A and B are shown apart, each in its own frame.
Chain A
Amino acid sequence: MAKNPEHRDLFPGALEIMILQSLRLRPMHGYALVKHIKQVSDNLLQVEEGSLYPALQRMLREELLESETGLSAKGRPTRIYRLTEAGIRHLEQEVESFEKMFAGITRVLAVARV
Chain B
Amino acid sequence: MRILSKLFSRRRRYDDIAVSIQEHIAERTEELMEEGMERKQAEQAAKREFGSVTQVAERSREEWQWPALESILADLKLTMRRLRKSPGFAVTVLLTIALGIGANTTVFSVVDGVLLKPLAYPDPGRLVALTLNAPGAGGLADFSSGLHLSPSMYLTFSEHNRIFQSMGVWTTGTASVTGLAQPEEVKTAGISEGVLETLGLLPTAGRWFSQGDQDPRGAKTVMLSYGYWQRRFGGDKSAIGRSIQVDAETREIVGVMPPGFKIVDKEFDLLVPTAFDTKNQKLAGFYLEGIGRLKPGVPLQQADADIARLIPVWMDSWSNGPGSNPHFYERWKITPAFRSLKQSVIGDVGKVLWTVMATVGLVMLIACTNVANLLLVRAESRQQELAIRAALGAGRIRIARELLTESVTLGLMGGVIAVGVAYAGLRLLTAIGPADLPRLNEVSLDLPALGFALLLSVLSGLLFGSIPALRYARAKASTAIGNANRTASAGRVRQKSRNVLVVAQVAMALVLLVSALLMIRTFAALRNVDPGFSDAPHIQTMHIWIPDLLVADPQTVTRQQNTIVDKLAAIPGVTSVGFAGAVPMENNDPNWDEIGVEGKHYEGGEPPLRLFNYVSPDYFKTVGTKLVAGRDFTWDDIYGMRPMVMVSENFARESWGSASAAVGKRVRQFSSMPWQEVIGVVQDVRQHGVDQDAPPTIYWAAMLNDPYTPKPTIDAPRAVTFAIRSNRAGNEVFLKEVQQAVWSVNSNLPLASVQTMQDLYGKSMARTSFTLVMLAIAGSMALALGIIGIYGVISYAVSQRTREIGIRLALGAQKSELKWLFVRSALLLTTTGVAIGLGTAAALMQLMKSLLFGISPLDPFTYIAVPFILIISAALASYLPARRAAAVNPVEALRAD
Bits for B55-78, please: 1 = Cβ < 8 Å to A, else 0: 111011111100000000000000
Q: Given the complex of chains A and B, what is the CA–CA distance between A60 and B21 in angstroms?
A: 16
Contact residues in B for A30 (Cβ distance below 8 Å): 20-21, 23-24
A13 proximal to B (CB < 8 A): no
Within 8 A of B (CB), among A42-78: 48-50, 53-54, 56-58, 60-61, 67, 72-74, 76-78
User: Is the CB–CB distance between B24 and A31 below 8 Å?
Assistant: yes
| Docked-complex contact B27 and A31, CB < 8 angstroms | yes
Interchain CB contact (< 8 A) of A73 among B27, B57, B60, B62: B27
Roughly how many angstroms separate A48 CA and B56 CA in the complex, as a whole number? 10
Contacts of A82 in B (CB 8 A): none
Q: Is the C-beta of B627 less than 8 angstroms from some C-beta in chain A?
A: no
Is B728 on the interface with A (CB-CB < 8 A)? Answer: no
Known: A67-B16, A79-B16. A53 touches B23 (CB 8 A): no
* A61 shortest CB reach to chain B, Å: 6
> B30 within 8 Å of A by Cβ?
yes
Which of B13, B23, B26, B56 has the most CB atoms of chain A within a 10 A radius of its CB?
Answer: B23
CA distance A53 to B52 in the complex (A): 12
Asked if B28 CB lies within 8 Å of chain A CBs, one says yes
Contacts of B57 in A (CB 8 A): 53
Contact present for B63 and A49 (CB under 8 Å)? no
Nearest-neighbor residue (CB-CB) of A81 within chain B = B20
CB < 8 Å neighbour of B19 from A3, A58, A77: A77
Contact between A78 and B20, CB atoms less than 8 A apart:
yes
Q: How far is the CB of B310 from chain A (nearest CB, A)?
A: 75
Bound-complex Cα distance A88 to B30 (A)? 33
User: What secondary structure prevails in chain B residues at the interface with A?
Assistant: helix
* A76 CB contacts on chain B under 8 angstroms: 23, 26
Residues of B within 8 A of A54 (CB): 56, 59-60, 62-63
Which residues of B, 726-770, contact A by the 8 Å Cβ criterion?
Answer: none
Which chain B residues lie closer than 8 Å to A61 at the CB level?
A: 63-64
Among B7-51, those with CB < 8 Å from A are: 13, 16-17, 19-21, 23-24, 26-28, 30, 49-51
Closest Cβ neighbor of A68 among chain B residues? B16
Interface size class of A (residues with CB under 8 A): 20 to 34
Number of A-B contacts (CB under 8 A): 65
**Nearest-CB distance from A16 to chain B (Å)?**
13
* Alpha-carbon separation in the docked complex, A57 to B61 (Å): 8
Which residues of chain B come closer than 8 Å to A67, judged between CB atoms?
Answer: 16
* Cβ 8 A contact of A74, one of B20, B26, B64: B26
Q: Which residues of A contact B28 (CB under 8 A)?
A: 31
* Nearest CB of chain A from residue B42's CB, rounded to whole Å: 14
Cα A73 to Cα B59 in complex, Å, equals: 26
A72–B16 CB distance below 8 A:
no
Given A49-B51, A50-B51, A53-B17, does the pair A31, B59 have CB atoms closer than 8 Å? no
Assembly CA distance A73 to B31 (angstroms): 11
Q: How far is the CA of A16 from the CA of B23 in the complex (A)?
A: 22
Q: With A49-B56, A58-B63 given, is the CB distance from A72 to B27 under 8 Å? A: yes
When distances are taken between beta carbons in the complex, the residues of chain B under 8 Å from A56 are 20, 60
Complex interface: chain A residues within 8 A of B26 (CB): 74, 76
Provided the pairs A57-B13, A67-B16, A79-B20 are in contact, do residues A74 and B30 lie with their beta carbons within 8 angstroms?
Answer: yes
Taking CB atoms, residues of chain A closer than 8 Å to B62 are: 54
Q: Which residues of chain B are near A29, meaning CB under 8 Å?
A: 20, 23
B60 cross-chain contacts in A, Cβ below 8 A: 53-54, 56-57
A48 contacts across to B, CB distance below 8 A:
51
A77-B19, A78-B19, A79-B19 known; A50 vs B27 contact (CB < 8 Å): no
Residues of A within 8 A of B30 (CB): 74
User: Min CB distance, B21 to chain A, in Å?
Assistant: 7
What mask results when residues 1 to 36 of chain A are scored 1 for a CB within 8 Å of chain B, else 0?
Answer: 001000000000000000000000000011100100
A29 to B16 Cα, complex, angstroms = 11
Q: B50 and A49: CB pair below 8 A? A: yes
Q: Distance (Å) between the CB of B181 and the closest chain A CB?
A: 78
- Kindly list chain A residues whose C-beta atoms are within 8 Å of the C-beta of B17: 53, 57
Chain A residues whose CB sits within 8 angstroms of the CB of B51 once the complex forms: 48-50
- Report A-chain residues with C-beta under 8 Å of the C-beta of B63: 54, 57-58, 60-61
Q: Report Cα–Cα, A45/B20, bound state, in Å.
A: 22
Q: B52: which A residues are within 8 A, CB to CB?
A: 50
CA gap between A58 and B61 in the complex, in Å: 9
Cα–Cα, bound, A53→B53 (Å): 11
A95 to B59, CA, bound (A): 27
Bound-state Cα–Cα, A29 to B23, Å: 9
A70–B198 alpha-carbon span in the complex (Å):
80
Q: Which residues of B contact A78 (CB under 8 A)?
A: 19-20, 23
Tell me the nearest residue of chain B to A49, going by C-beta: B50
User: What residues of B have a CB within 8 angstroms of the CB of A34 in the complex?
Assistant: 24
Contact status A53-B27, CB under 8 Å: no
Q: Which residue of A lies closest to B30 (CB)?
A: A74
Which residues of B384-419 have CB atoms within 8 Å of chain A's CB atoms? none
Measured CB to CB, the nearest residue on chain A to B24 is A31
Most buried by B among A34, A53, A67, A72: A53
Q: Which residue of B lies closest to A72 (CB)?
A: B23
**A50-B20 contact given A31-B28, A56-B60, CB 8 Å threshold:** no
Within 8 A of A (CB), among B588-607: none
B23 with A50: CB separation less than 8 A: no
Contact A53 B19 (CB under 8 A): no
Taking the closest CB of chain A, its distance from the CB of B54, in whole angstroms, is 11
- Provide the residues of chain A in CB contact with B13, threshold 8 Å: 57, 60
- A1 nearest CB neighbor, chain B only: B51
Docked Cα-Cα span, A48 to B59, in Å, equals 13
**Given known contacts A54-B56, A54-B62, A58-B63, A49 and B19 CB-to-CB distance under 8 angstroms:** no
CA distance A33 to B49 in the complex (A): 16
Asked whether, in the complex, the Cβ of A49 is within 8 Å of the Cβ of B27, the reply is: no
Complex: how many Å from CA A30 to CA B56?
13
Contact (Cβ within 8 A) A53 B64 = no
Bound together, the chains give a CA A72 to CA B49 distance in angstroms of 19
Residue of A nearest to B50 (CB): A49
* Min distance, Cβ B538 to any Cβ of chain A, angstroms: 85
**How many Å from the CB of B30 to the closest CB on chain A?**
6
A57 to B21, alpha carbons, bound, how many Å?
12
Known: A57-B17, A74-B30. A31 touches B56 (CB 8 A): no
Residue of B with least CB distance to A71: B23
Interchain CA distance A34-B60 in the complex, whole Å: 16
Cα separation A58 to B64 with both chains bound (whole Å): 8
B residues near A79, Cβ cutoff 8 Å: 16, 19-20
> Chain A's nearest CB lies how many Å from the CB of B458?
32
- The minimal Cβ–Cβ distance linking A79 to chain B, given in whole angstroms, is 5
Closest B-chain residue to A33, C-beta based?
Answer: B24
Q: Which residue of A lies closest to B52 (CB)?
A: A50
- Cα–Cα, bound, A67→B12 (Å): 11
Contact B20 A49 (CB under 8 A): no
For the complex, what is the distance from the CA of A3 to the CA of B19, rounded to whole Å?
24
Residue of A3, A53, A58 near B20 (CB, 8 A) is A53
* Chain A residue nearest to B6 in the complex (CB): A61
Nearest 4 pairs of A and B residues by beta carbon: A57-B63, A78-B23, A53-B60, A31-B24
- A and B contact pairs by CB, cutoff 8 A, 20 listed: A30-B20, A31-B24, A34-B24, A49-B24, A49-B50, A50-B51, A50-B55, A53-B20, A53-B21, A53-B56, A53-B57, A53-B60, A54-B59, A61-B64, A72-B27, A73-B27, A74-B30, A77-B23, A78-B20, A79-B20
Interface residues of A (CB under 8 A from B): 3, 29-31, 34, 48-50, 53-54, 56-58, 60-61, 67, 72-74, 76-79
Binding site for A on B (CB under 8 A): 13, 16-17, 19-21, 23-24, 26-28, 30, 49-52, 55-57, 59-64
Please give 15 more A-B residue pairs, beta carbons under 8 A apart, in addition to A50-B59, A60-B63. A31-B27, A49-B24, A49-B51, A53-B17, A53-B59, A54-B60, A54-B62, A54-B63, A57-B60, A57-B61, A57-B63, A72-B23, A74-B30, A78-B19, A79-B16
